[in-house]
A and B are shown apart, each in its own frame.
Chain A
Protein backbone atom coordinates (compact mmCIF):
# COMPACT_ATOMS: atom_id res chain seq x y z
CA UNK A 1 0.00 0.00 0.00
CA UNK A 2 1.45 3.33 -1.12
CA UNK A 3 0.23 6.41 0.71
CA UNK A 4 1.24 9.87 -0.49
CA UNK A 5 0.75 13.06 1.52
CA UNK A 6 1.07 16.39 -0.24
CA UNK A 7 1.70 19.53 1.71
CA UNK A 8 0.38 22.23 -0.62
CA UNK A 9 2.03 25.24 1.02
CA UNK A 10 5.11 26.90 -0.42
CA UNK A 11 5.55 28.93 2.73
CA UNK A 12 4.60 28.46 6.39
CA UNK A 13 4.70 25.20 8.29
CA UNK A 14 1.24 24.44 9.70
CA UNK A 15 0.08 22.21 6.84
CA UNK A 16 3.38 20.36 6.89
CA UNK A 17 3.15 19.90 10.67
CA UNK A 18 -0.27 18.24 10.45
CA UNK A 19 0.79 15.99 7.55
CA UNK A 20 3.98 15.02 9.41
CA UNK A 21 1.81 13.92 12.35
CA UNK A 22 -0.41 11.97 9.97
CA UNK A 23 2.63 10.33 8.39
CA UNK A 24 3.87 9.20 11.81
CA UNK A 25 0.43 7.87 12.68
CA UNK A 26 0.09 6.00 9.36
CA UNK A 27 3.52 4.42 9.87
CA UNK A 28 2.51 3.24 13.32
CA UNK A 29 -0.89 1.91 12.33
CA UNK A 30 0.25 0.29 9.07
CA UNK A 31 3.98 -0.51 9.27
CA UNK A 32 3.80 -2.32 5.92
CA UNK A 33 2.62 0.84 4.11
CA UNK A 34 5.05 2.99 2.18
CA UNK A 35 4.22 6.54 3.26
CA UNK A 36 5.69 9.46 1.29
CA UNK A 37 5.33 13.09 2.28
CA UNK A 38 5.80 15.61 -0.53
CA UNK A 39 6.52 19.10 0.79
CA UNK A 40 6.00 21.75 -1.87
CA UNK A 41 8.32 24.08 0.05
CA UNK A 42 11.24 21.90 -1.04
CA UNK A 43 10.11 21.13 -4.57
CA UNK A 44 10.54 23.32 -7.61
CA UNK A 45 7.44 22.94 -9.79
CA UNK A 46 6.53 24.59 -13.08
CA UNK A 47 2.99 25.65 -13.93
CA UNK A 48 0.81 23.05 -15.64
CA UNK A 49 0.69 23.62 -19.41
CA UNK A 50 -1.51 20.70 -20.34
CA UNK A 51 1.17 18.27 -21.52
CA UNK A 52 1.26 14.57 -20.60
CA UNK A 53 2.46 14.37 -17.00
CA UNK A 54 5.43 12.20 -17.97
CA UNK A 55 6.77 14.94 -20.19
CA UNK A 56 7.51 17.31 -17.33
CA UNK A 57 10.99 17.28 -15.91
CA UNK A 58 12.58 17.30 -12.49
CA UNK A 59 10.42 17.83 -9.42
CA UNK A 60 7.26 18.47 -11.47
CA UNK A 61 7.48 15.03 -13.02
CA UNK A 62 8.47 13.45 -9.69
CA UNK A 63 5.36 14.86 -7.95
CA UNK A 64 3.01 13.83 -10.78
CA UNK A 65 4.42 10.30 -11.02
CA UNK A 66 4.43 9.80 -7.24
CA UNK A 67 0.74 10.73 -7.10
CA UNK A 68 -0.12 8.50 -10.08
CA UNK A 69 1.52 5.51 -8.36
CA UNK A 70 -0.29 6.00 -5.01
CA UNK A 71 -3.10 3.86 -3.58
CA UNK A 72 -4.14 6.54 -1.09
CA UNK A 73 -3.56 10.28 -0.88
CA UNK A 74 -3.97 13.09 1.61
CA UNK A 75 -4.04 16.57 0.09
CA UNK A 76 -3.08 19.25 2.58
CA UNK A 77 -3.48 22.95 1.95
CA UNK A 78 -3.49 26.24 3.82
CA UNK A 79 -6.35 28.62 3.09
CA UNK A 80 -5.43 31.60 0.95
CA UNK A 81 -8.12 34.14 -0.01
CA UNK A 82 -10.90 31.76 1.03
CA UNK A 83 -9.56 28.94 -1.14
CA UNK A 84 -7.02 26.17 -1.53
CA UNK A 85 -3.46 27.20 -2.36
CA UNK A 86 -2.56 27.90 -5.98
CA UNK A 87 0.38 25.55 -5.55
CA UNK A 88 -1.92 22.61 -4.73
CA UNK A 89 -4.32 23.43 -7.56
CA UNK A 90 -1.32 23.47 -9.88
CA UNK A 91 -0.36 19.96 -8.72
CA UNK A 92 -3.89 18.74 -9.52
CA UNK A 93 -3.78 20.47 -12.91
CA UNK A 94 -0.66 18.49 -13.85
CA UNK A 95 -2.60 15.22 -13.79
CA UNK A 96 -4.94 13.49 -16.27
CA UNK A 97 -8.68 13.90 -15.66
CA UNK A 98 -9.17 10.40 -14.19
CA UNK A 99 -5.90 10.46 -12.26
CA UNK A 100 -7.45 9.62 -8.89
CA UNK A 101 -9.58 6.66 -9.96
CA UNK A 102 -9.26 3.73 -7.55
CA UNK A 103 -7.38 5.91 -5.06
CA UNK A 104 -8.70 6.69 -1.58
CA UNK A 105 -8.23 10.34 -0.71
CA UNK A 106 -8.99 12.91 1.92
CA UNK A 107 -8.07 16.50 2.72
CA UNK A 108 -6.35 18.47 5.44
CA UNK A 109 -7.08 22.18 5.65
CA UNK A 110 -5.13 24.55 7.84
CA UNK A 111 -6.44 28.06 8.41
CA UNK A 112 -5.97 31.09 10.58
CA UNK A 113 -9.60 31.21 11.68
CA UNK A 114 -12.76 29.08 11.69
CA UNK A 115 -14.18 31.10 8.77
CA UNK A 116 -12.96 28.54 6.28
CA UNK A 117 -14.24 25.34 7.85
CA UNK A 118 -16.10 24.26 4.68
CA UNK A 119 -13.25 24.77 2.18
CA UNK A 120 -12.57 21.02 2.07
CA UNK A 121 -16.20 20.18 1.32
CA UNK A 122 -17.09 23.09 -0.91
CA UNK A 123 -13.87 23.47 -2.86
CA UNK A 124 -11.37 20.64 -2.66
CA UNK A 125 -13.70 17.61 -2.58
CA UNK A 126 -15.54 18.55 -5.81
CA UNK A 127 -12.19 18.67 -7.62
CA UNK A 128 -11.06 15.33 -6.20
CA UNK A 129 -14.45 13.79 -6.99
CA UNK A 130 -14.21 15.01 -10.60
CA UNK A 131 -10.84 13.27 -10.82
CA UNK A 132 -12.69 10.07 -9.76
CA UNK A 133 -11.18 9.84 -6.27
CA UNK A 134 -12.81 7.68 -3.64
CA UNK A 135 -13.34 10.24 -0.89
CA UNK A 136 -13.35 9.60 2.82
CA UNK A 137 -16.34 11.22 4.50
CA UNK A 138 -14.01 12.78 7.08
CA UNK A 139 -11.52 15.57 6.47
CA UNK A 140 -9.39 17.44 8.95
CA UNK A 141 -9.65 21.15 9.68
CA UNK A 142 -6.89 22.62 11.82
CA UNK A 143 -6.66 26.21 12.99
CA UNK A 144 -3.36 27.90 13.70
CA UNK A 145 -4.22 28.05 17.41
CA UNK A 146 -4.04 24.23 17.40
CA UNK A 147 -0.34 24.31 16.46
CA UNK A 148 2.35 25.82 18.65
CA UNK A 149 6.05 25.59 17.75
CA UNK A 150 5.45 23.03 15.01
CA UNK A 151 3.51 20.73 17.32
CA UNK A 152 -0.19 19.95 17.45
CA UNK A 153 -1.24 20.97 20.95
CA UNK A 154 -5.00 20.42 20.92
CA UNK A 155 -6.11 17.01 22.13
CA UNK A 156 -9.15 17.11 19.86
CA UNK A 157 -6.93 17.50 16.78
CA UNK A 158 -4.53 14.78 17.98
CA UNK A 159 -7.50 12.41 18.25
CA UNK A 160 -8.73 13.40 14.78
CA UNK A 161 -5.30 12.76 13.30
CA UNK A 162 -5.45 9.20 14.66
CA UNK A 163 -9.02 8.71 13.43
CA UNK A 164 -8.27 10.04 9.97
CA UNK A 165 -5.23 7.75 9.61
CA UNK A 166 -7.38 4.85 10.74
CA UNK A 167 -10.17 5.72 8.28
CA UNK A 168 -7.70 6.02 5.45
CA UNK A 169 -6.04 2.66 6.13
CA UNK A 170 -9.35 0.86 6.66
CA UNK A 171 -10.90 2.21 3.47
CA UNK A 172 -7.79 1.75 1.35
CA UNK A 173 -7.23 -1.84 2.49
CA UNK A 174 -10.89 -2.74 1.99
CA UNK A 175 -10.98 -1.04 -1.39
CA UNK A 176 -7.77 -2.64 -2.63
CA UNK A 177 -8.84 -6.12 -1.46
CA UNK A 178 -12.30 -5.89 -3.03
CA UNK A 179 -10.93 -4.34 -6.21
CA UNK A 180 -8.48 -7.22 -6.54
CA UNK A 181 -11.31 -9.75 -6.10
CA UNK A 182 -13.49 -7.95 -8.61
CA UNK A 183 -10.74 -7.61 -11.18
CA UNK A 184 -9.79 -11.27 -10.86
CA UNK A 185 -13.36 -12.24 -11.69
CA UNK A 186 -13.86 -9.84 -14.61
CA UNK A 187 -12.68 -12.17 -17.37
Chain B
Protein backbone atom coordinates (compact mmCIF):
# COMPACT_ATOMS: atom_id res chain seq x y z
CA UNK B 1 0.00 0.00 0.00
CA UNK B 2 1.18 3.47 -0.71
CA UNK B 3 -0.41 6.84 -0.19
CA UNK B 4 0.79 8.12 -3.56
CA UNK B 5 0.37 5.03 -5.75
CA UNK B 6 -2.82 3.55 -4.38
CA UNK B 7 -4.66 6.63 -3.24
CA UNK B 8 -3.28 9.35 -5.52
CA UNK B 9 -2.25 11.65 -2.67
CA UNK B 10 1.03 13.49 -2.46
CA UNK B 11 1.34 14.62 1.17
CA UNK B 12 3.85 17.28 0.21
CA UNK B 13 1.13 19.18 -1.64
CA UNK B 14 -0.67 19.82 1.64
CA UNK B 15 -4.28 19.16 2.43
CA UNK B 16 -6.73 18.49 -0.39
CA UNK B 17 -9.97 20.45 -0.34
CA UNK B 18 -13.12 19.05 -1.87
CA UNK B 19 -16.89 19.35 -1.91
CA UNK B 20 -19.57 16.77 -1.38
CA UNK B 21 -23.29 16.76 -1.86
CA UNK B 22 -26.02 14.40 -0.72
CA UNK B 23 -27.89 15.38 -3.86
CA UNK B 24 -30.79 16.77 -1.87
CA UNK B 25 -33.43 18.92 -3.52
CA UNK B 26 -35.32 20.92 -0.93
CA UNK B 27 -37.22 24.20 -0.87
CA UNK B 28 -35.06 26.97 0.61
CA UNK B 29 -36.65 27.70 4.01
CA UNK B 30 -35.70 31.39 3.64
CA UNK B 31 -37.36 31.99 0.26
CA UNK B 32 -39.42 28.83 -0.43
CA UNK B 33 -37.72 28.61 -3.81
CA UNK B 34 -37.88 24.99 -4.98
CA UNK B 35 -36.06 24.08 -8.19
CA UNK B 36 -37.08 21.24 -10.53
CA UNK B 37 -35.32 17.87 -10.55
CA UNK B 38 -33.84 18.67 -13.95
CA UNK B 39 -32.47 21.98 -12.72
CA UNK B 40 -31.05 20.51 -9.53
CA UNK B 41 -29.14 17.81 -11.44
CA UNK B 42 -27.78 20.43 -13.84
CA UNK B 43 -26.73 22.48 -10.81
CA UNK B 44 -24.81 19.53 -9.38
CA UNK B 45 -22.83 19.21 -12.61
CA UNK B 46 -22.23 22.95 -12.67
CA UNK B 47 -21.11 22.90 -9.01
CA UNK B 48 -18.46 20.28 -9.78
CA UNK B 49 -17.32 22.11 -12.91
CA UNK B 50 -16.95 25.39 -11.06
CA UNK B 51 -15.18 23.65 -8.16
CA UNK B 52 -12.58 22.50 -10.69
CA UNK B 53 -12.21 26.03 -12.06
CA UNK B 54 -11.73 27.38 -8.53
CA UNK B 55 -8.87 24.93 -7.96
CA UNK B 56 -10.62 22.47 -5.64
CA UNK B 57 -9.37 18.89 -5.55
CA UNK B 58 -12.43 16.66 -5.20
CA UNK B 59 -16.17 16.46 -5.79
CA UNK B 60 -18.25 13.71 -4.18
CA UNK B 61 -21.91 12.82 -4.58
CA UNK B 62 -24.08 10.55 -2.45
CA UNK B 63 -27.29 8.65 -2.98
CA UNK B 64 -30.51 8.75 -0.93
CA UNK B 65 -33.69 7.07 -2.06
CA UNK B 66 -36.51 9.13 -0.64
CA UNK B 67 -38.42 12.38 -1.02
CA UNK B 68 -36.28 15.55 -1.26
CA UNK B 69 -33.37 13.81 -3.00
CA UNK B 70 -32.42 13.72 -6.66
CA UNK B 71 -29.12 11.80 -6.99
CA UNK B 72 -30.40 8.23 -6.63
CA UNK B 73 -28.46 7.40 -9.83
CA UNK B 74 -25.36 9.12 -8.47
CA UNK B 75 -22.96 7.15 -10.68
CA UNK B 76 -24.79 8.42 -13.78
CA UNK B 77 -24.53 12.04 -12.64
CA UNK B 78 -20.85 11.48 -11.82
CA UNK B 79 -20.46 10.23 -15.41
CA UNK B 80 -21.76 13.57 -16.68
CA UNK B 81 -19.39 15.35 -14.29
CA UNK B 82 -16.48 13.22 -15.54
CA UNK B 83 -17.29 14.41 -19.03
CA UNK B 84 -17.62 18.07 -18.04
CA UNK B 85 -14.33 18.25 -16.09
CA UNK B 86 -10.65 17.48 -16.70
CA UNK B 87 -8.68 17.63 -13.50
CA UNK B 88 -10.81 17.43 -10.37
CA UNK B 89 -11.05 14.02 -8.65
CA UNK B 90 -14.60 12.69 -8.50
CA UNK B 91 -16.27 10.05 -6.42
CA UNK B 92 -19.29 8.83 -4.58
CA UNK B 93 -19.87 10.03 -1.06
CA UNK B 94 -21.29 7.68 -0.33
CA UNK B 95 -22.47 4.69 -2.36
CA UNK B 96 -24.91 2.54 -0.38
CA UNK B 97 -23.17 -0.77 -0.80
CA UNK B 98 -25.41 -2.74 1.58
CA UNK B 99 -28.31 -2.88 -0.86
CA UNK B 100 -26.34 -2.90 -4.12
CA UNK B 101 -24.48 -5.64 -5.91
CA UNK B 102 -20.71 -5.12 -5.54
CA UNK B 103 -20.20 -6.41 -9.09
CA UNK B 104 -22.47 -3.70 -10.53
CA UNK B 105 -21.01 -1.04 -8.26
CA UNK B 106 -17.48 -1.92 -9.32
CA UNK B 107 -18.47 -1.96 -13.02
CA UNK B 108 -19.98 1.52 -12.66
CA UNK B 109 -17.02 3.06 -10.89
CA UNK B 110 -14.33 1.35 -12.97
CA UNK B 111 -16.17 2.79 -15.99
CA UNK B 112 -16.20 6.16 -14.28
CA UNK B 113 -12.46 5.86 -13.76
CA UNK B 114 -11.98 5.24 -17.50
CA UNK B 115 -14.35 8.07 -18.47
CA UNK B 116 -12.59 10.50 -16.14
CA UNK B 117 -9.10 9.45 -17.16
CA UNK B 118 -8.22 7.97 -13.78
CA UNK B 119 -9.96 10.43 -11.46
CA UNK B 120 -12.65 8.22 -9.94
CA UNK B 121 -12.95 7.13 -6.32
CA UNK B 122 -15.54 5.00 -4.56
CA UNK B 123 -16.70 5.64 -1.02
CA UNK B 124 -18.83 2.80 0.31
CA UNK B 125 -21.25 3.30 3.19
CA UNK B 126 -23.99 1.57 5.10
CA UNK B 127 -26.64 4.31 4.53
CA UNK B 128 -27.88 6.85 7.04
CA UNK B 129 -31.30 6.90 5.36
CA UNK B 130 -32.94 3.57 4.72
CA UNK B 131 -35.14 4.30 1.67
CA UNK B 132 -33.32 1.77 -0.49
CA UNK B 133 -33.83 -1.09 1.99
CA UNK B 134 -37.58 -0.69 1.60
CA UNK B 135 -37.56 -0.10 -2.17
CA UNK B 136 -35.43 -3.15 -2.90
CA UNK B 137 -36.89 -5.40 -0.24
CA UNK B 138 -33.89 -5.71 2.09
CA UNK B 139 -34.31 -6.34 5.79
CA UNK B 140 -32.97 -3.55 7.99
CA UNK B 141 -32.17 -6.35 10.44
CA UNK B 142 -29.25 -7.22 8.13
CA UNK B 143 -27.98 -3.60 8.02
CA UNK B 144 -24.50 -4.41 9.36
CA UNK B 145 -24.00 -7.91 7.92
CA UNK B 146 -25.06 -6.83 4.42
CA UNK B 147 -22.44 -4.11 4.33
CA UNK B 148 -19.60 -6.16 5.76
CA UNK B 149 -20.15 -9.03 3.31
CA UNK B 150 -20.53 -6.78 0.27
CA UNK B 151 -17.60 -4.57 1.18
CA UNK B 152 -15.32 -7.61 1.44
CA UNK B 153 -16.50 -8.78 -1.97
CA UNK B 154 -16.01 -5.32 -3.48
CA UNK B 155 -12.41 -5.21 -2.24
CA UNK B 156 -11.81 -8.71 -3.56
CA UNK B 157 -13.09 -7.69 -7.00
CA UNK B 158 -10.94 -4.55 -6.92
CA UNK B 159 -7.76 -6.41 -5.97
CA UNK B 160 -8.09 -9.55 -8.11
CA UNK B 161 -8.52 -10.18 -11.82
CA UNK B 162 -10.38 -13.42 -11.08
CA UNK B 163 -12.73 -13.84 -8.17
CA UNK B 164 -13.96 -16.97 -6.46
CA UNK B 165 -16.32 -16.11 -3.67
CA UNK B 166 -19.38 -17.26 -1.78
CA UNK B 167 -21.49 -15.56 0.85
CA UNK B 168 -24.92 -15.20 2.37
CA UNK B 169 -26.54 -12.38 0.45
CA UNK B 170 -25.47 -13.02 -3.14
CA UNK B 171 -24.97 -16.05 -5.41
CA UNK B 172 -21.37 -17.35 -5.44
CA UNK B 173 -18.76 -16.31 -8.00
CA UNK B 174 -16.58 -19.01 -9.52
CA UNK B 175 -13.37 -17.76 -11.08
CA UNK B 176 -15.35 -14.77 -12.36
CA UNK B 177 -13.72 -11.89 -14.22
CA UNK B 178 -15.25 -8.48 -13.66
CA UNK B 179 -14.84 -5.87 -16.42
CA UNK B 180 -13.85 -3.15 -17.07
CA UNK B 181 -10.77 -2.55 -14.92
CA UNK B 182 -9.82 0.96 -13.67
CA UNK B 183 -7.46 2.98 -15.87
CA UNK B 184 -4.27 2.07 -14.05
CA UNK B 185 -5.55 -1.16 -12.61
CA UNK B 186 -6.42 0.40 -9.25
CA UNK B 187 -8.98 2.84 -7.94
CA UNK B 188 -9.25 4.26 -4.40
CA UNK B 189 -12.00 2.57 -2.39
CA UNK B 190 -12.89 4.17 0.95
CA UNK B 191 -15.05 3.19 3.85
CA UNK B 192 -17.55 5.85 4.91
CA UNK B 193 -17.63 6.22 8.68
CA UNK B 194 -20.23 8.15 10.65
CA UNK B 195 -20.01 8.66 14.38
CA UNK B 196 -19.26 5.28 15.90
CA UNK B 197 -15.67 4.17 16.50
CA UNK B 198 -16.69 0.61 15.66
CA UNK B 199 -16.97 1.44 11.96
CA UNK B 200 -13.56 3.19 12.04
CA UNK B 201 -12.03 0.11 13.64
CA UNK B 202 -13.47 -2.03 10.84
CA UNK B 203 -11.99 0.33 8.23
CA UNK B 204 -8.59 -0.19 9.85
CA UNK B 205 -9.08 -3.93 9.98
CA UNK B 206 -9.86 -4.00 6.24
CA UNK B 207 -6.84 -1.82 5.46
CA UNK B 208 -8.83 0.80 3.57
CA UNK B 209 -8.82 4.60 3.79
CA UNK B 210 -11.55 6.24 5.85
CA UNK B 211 -13.95 9.07 5.03
CA UNK B 212 -15.26 10.45 8.31
CA UNK B 213 -18.48 12.49 8.35
CA UNK B 214 -18.63 15.03 11.17
CA UNK B 215 -21.82 17.01 11.71
CA UNK B 216 -21.22 18.72 15.02
CA UNK B 217 -19.38 18.23 18.25
CA UNK B 218 -15.98 18.92 19.73
CA UNK B 219 -12.92 18.20 17.57
CA UNK B 220 -11.56 15.98 20.37
CA UNK B 221 -14.43 13.51 19.93
CA UNK B 222 -13.60 12.93 16.27
CA UNK B 223 -9.90 12.82 17.05
CA UNK B 224 -10.67 9.77 19.17
CA UNK B 225 -12.35 8.02 16.23
CA UNK B 226 -9.31 8.78 14.06
CA UNK B 227 -7.04 7.45 16.79
CA UNK B 228 -9.02 4.17 16.86
CA UNK B 229 -8.77 3.92 13.07
CA UNK B 230 -4.99 4.31 13.05
CA UNK B 231 -4.58 1.93 16.00
CA UNK B 232 -6.70 -0.61 14.17
CA UNK B 233 -4.52 -0.26 11.05
CA UNK B 234 -1.41 -0.87 13.17
CA UNK B 235 -2.90 -3.87 14.97
CA UNK B 236 -3.76 -5.41 11.61
CA UNK B 237 -0.28 -5.03 10.20
CA UNK B 238 -0.70 -1.84 8.18
CA UNK B 239 1.22 1.42 8.37
CA UNK B 240 -1.14 4.37 9.01
CA UNK B 241 1.22 6.55 6.96
CA UNK B 242 0.04 4.67 3.86
CA UNK B 243 -3.66 5.49 4.34
CA UNK B 244 -5.32 8.82 3.69
CA UNK B 245 -8.13 10.13 5.88
CA UNK B 246 -10.89 12.39 4.61
CA UNK B 247 -12.98 14.39 7.04
CA UNK B 248 -16.09 16.24 5.96
CA UNK B 249 -19.02 18.18 7.27
CA UNK B 250 -21.41 21.01 6.63
CA UNK B 251 -19.83 24.30 5.65
CA UNK B 252 -21.24 27.82 5.46
CA UNK B 253 -19.45 31.11 5.17
CA UNK B 254 -20.69 34.70 5.30
CA UNK B 255 -19.26 38.13 6.09
CA UNK B 256 -19.36 37.45 9.84
CA UNK B 257 -20.20 34.64 12.24
CA UNK B 258 -23.63 35.96 13.28
CA UNK B 259 -24.76 36.32 9.68
CA UNK B 260 -23.48 32.84 8.88
CA UNK B 261 -25.31 31.31 11.88
CA UNK B 262 -28.53 33.21 11.11
CA UNK B 263 -28.55 32.34 7.41
CA UNK B 264 -27.55 28.73 7.81
CA UNK B 265 -29.60 27.59 10.81
CA UNK B 266 -32.97 27.35 9.01
CA UNK B 267 -31.42 25.40 6.13
CA UNK B 268 -29.74 22.89 8.45
CA UNK B 269 -32.65 22.60 10.87
CA UNK B 270 -35.40 22.19 8.27
CA UNK B 271 -33.13 20.13 6.01
CA UNK B 272 -32.32 17.67 8.80
CA UNK B 273 -36.02 17.38 9.59
CA UNK B 274 -36.75 16.60 5.95
CA UNK B 275 -33.89 14.16 5.57
CA UNK B 276 -33.72 12.46 8.96
CA UNK B 277 -36.93 13.28 10.80
CA UNK B 278 -35.69 15.61 13.49
CA UNK B 279 -34.18 19.06 13.44
CA UNK B 280 -30.98 20.46 14.87
CA UNK B 281 -31.00 21.81 18.41
CA UNK B 282 -30.58 25.57 18.15
CA UNK B 283 -28.39 25.89 21.24
CA UNK B 284 -26.10 23.10 20.07
CA UNK B 285 -25.93 24.85 16.71
CA UNK B 286 -24.99 28.19 18.31
CA UNK B 287 -22.08 26.46 20.07
CA UNK B 288 -20.58 25.69 16.68
CA UNK B 289 -19.12 29.20 16.59
CA UNK B 290 -16.43 27.88 18.95
CA UNK B 291 -13.13 27.12 17.15
CA UNK B 292 -12.99 23.82 19.07
CA UNK B 293 -16.24 22.61 17.47
CA UNK B 294 -15.97 20.88 14.10
CA UNK B 295 -18.63 22.67 12.07
CA UNK B 296 -17.00 24.87 9.41
CA UNK B 297 -19.01 28.02 9.85
CA UNK B 298 -18.06 31.69 10.07
CA UNK B 299 -16.23 34.23 7.98
CA UNK B 300 -13.49 32.87 5.69
CA UNK B 301 -10.70 33.52 8.22
CA UNK B 302 -12.62 31.83 11.02
CA UNK B 303 -13.08 28.82 8.76
CA UNK B 304 -9.36 28.75 7.92
CA UNK B 305 -8.61 28.85 11.65
CA UNK B 306 -11.03 25.98 12.36
CA UNK B 307 -9.76 23.79 9.53
CA UNK B 308 -6.11 24.35 10.41
CA UNK B 309 -6.83 23.39 14.00
CA UNK B 310 -8.56 20.24 12.77
CA UNK B 311 -5.60 19.51 10.48
CA UNK B 312 -3.29 19.84 13.45
CA UNK B 313 -5.44 17.47 15.50
CA UNK B 314 -6.40 14.92 12.83
CA UNK B 315 -3.62 15.09 10.26
CA UNK B 316 -6.19 14.33 7.55
CA UNK B 317 -5.20 14.34 3.87
CA UNK B 318 -8.49 15.77 2.58
CA UNK B 319 -11.27 17.95 3.88
CA UNK B 320 -14.60 17.91 2.05
CA UNK B 321 -17.15 20.68 2.53
CA UNK B 322 -20.88 20.04 2.34
CA UNK B 323 -22.04 23.41 1.05
CA UNK B 324 -25.39 22.82 -0.65
CA UNK B 325 -27.55 21.11 1.98
CA UNK B 326 -31.09 22.10 2.90
CA UNK B 327 -32.03 24.33 -0.01
CA UNK B 328 -29.04 26.69 -0.02
CA UNK B 329 -29.59 28.45 -3.38
CA UNK B 330 -27.29 27.55 -6.25
CA UNK B 331 -26.11 31.16 -6.56
CA UNK B 332 -24.91 31.06 -2.95
CA UNK B 333 -23.21 27.69 -3.56
CA UNK B 334 -21.27 29.23 -6.45
CA UNK B 335 -20.29 32.22 -4.28
CA UNK B 336 -19.05 29.84 -1.60
CA UNK B 337 -16.88 28.01 -4.14
CA UNK B 338 -15.42 31.33 -5.24
CA UNK B 339 -14.70 32.22 -1.60
CA UNK B 340 -13.08 28.83 -0.99
CA UNK B 341 -10.91 29.22 -4.09
CA UNK B 342 -9.77 32.76 -3.35
CA UNK B 343 -9.81 33.21 0.42
CA UNK B 344 -9.66 29.79 2.05
CA UNK B 345 -7.81 27.28 -0.08
CA UNK B 346 -4.65 29.40 -0.66
CA UNK B 347 -4.18 29.81 3.10
CA UNK B 348 -4.82 26.14 3.84
CA UNK B 349 -2.30 25.13 1.18
CA UNK B 350 0.26 27.63 2.42
CA UNK B 351 0.12 26.23 5.95
CA UNK B 352 -0.11 22.53 5.11
CA UNK B 353 2.18 21.90 2.14
CA UNK B 354 5.64 20.68 3.03
CA UNK B 355 7.69 20.86 -0.16
CA UNK B 356 10.86 22.88 0.13
CA UNK B 357 10.45 26.53 -0.80
CA UNK B 358 12.68 28.06 -3.45
CA UNK B 359 14.68 29.86 -0.77
CA UNK B 360 15.17 26.59 1.08
CA UNK B 361 16.32 24.84 -2.10
CA UNK B 362 18.92 27.55 -2.64
CA UNK B 363 20.16 26.95 0.86
CA UNK B 364 19.06 30.34 2.15
CA UNK B 365 16.81 28.97 4.86
CA UNK B 366 19.06 26.22 6.13
CA UNK B 367 20.28 26.52 9.68
Contact = CB atoms under 8 A, between A and B. Distances in A.
Contact of B281 (A51, A68, A101, A187): A101
Interface string A31-67: 0000000000000000001111111000000000000
A50 B262 CA distance: 34
Given A49-B140, A49-B141, A186 B277 contact: no
Nearest to A185: B286
Interface string B261-289: 11001000000000011100111011001
B262 A52 contact: no
A133 to B, nearest CB: 14
Contacts of B261: 186-187
A11 B210 CA distance: 50
Contacts of B276: 52
B130 A186 contact: no
Given A51-B130, A68-B278, 17 more contacts: A49-B141, A51-B140, A52-B277, A55-B130, A96-B278, A101-B281, A102-B281, A182-B283, A183-B282, A183-B283, A186-B261, A186-B285, A187-B258, A187-B261, A187-B262, A187-B286, A187-B289
Contacts, number: 33
10 contacts: A52-B130, A52-B276, A53-B277, A55-B130, A55-B134, A96-B278, A102-B281, A183-B282, A183-B283, A187-B261
B265 A187 contact: yes
Interface in B14-68: none
Contacts of B129: 52
A134 B9 CA distance: 49
Nearest to B287: A186
Contacts of B277: 52-54
Chain A: interface secondary structure? loop
Contacts of B289: 187
A111 B130 CA distance: 41
A13 B129 CA distance: 39
B276 to A, nearest CB: 7
Contacts of A55: 130, 134
A49 B129 CA distance: 15
A49 B133 CA distance: 15
Contacts of A186: 261, 282-283, 285-286
A52 B134 CA distance: 13
Nearest to B277: A54
Contacts of B258: 187
Nearest to A50: B140
B139 to A, nearest CB: 10
A54 B275 CA distance: 11
Nearest to B258: A187
A11 B130 CA distance: 34
B296 to A, nearest CB: 16
Nearest to A132: B281
Nearest to B131: A55
A187 B283 CA distance: 10
A120 B276 CA distance: 32
Contacts of B140: 49-51
A42 B364 CA distance: 83
Nearest to B288: A187
Contacts of A102: 281
Nearest to A101: B281
Nearest to B141: A49
Contacts of B134: 55
Interface in A82-96: 96
6 closest A-B pairs (Cβ-Cβ)?
A187-B261, A186-B286, A54-B277, A183-B282, A187-B258, A187-B262
Interface in B99-155: 129-130, 134, 140-141
A102 B279 CA distance: 13
A117 B141 CA distance: 38
A38 B313 CA distance: 49
A126 B141 CA distance: 28
A51 B286 CA distance: 28
A51 B139 CA distance: 11
B262 to A, nearest CB: 5
Contacts of A101: 281
A53 B277 CA distance: 8
A55 B140 CA distance: 11
Nearest to B140: A51
A142 to B, nearest CB: 33
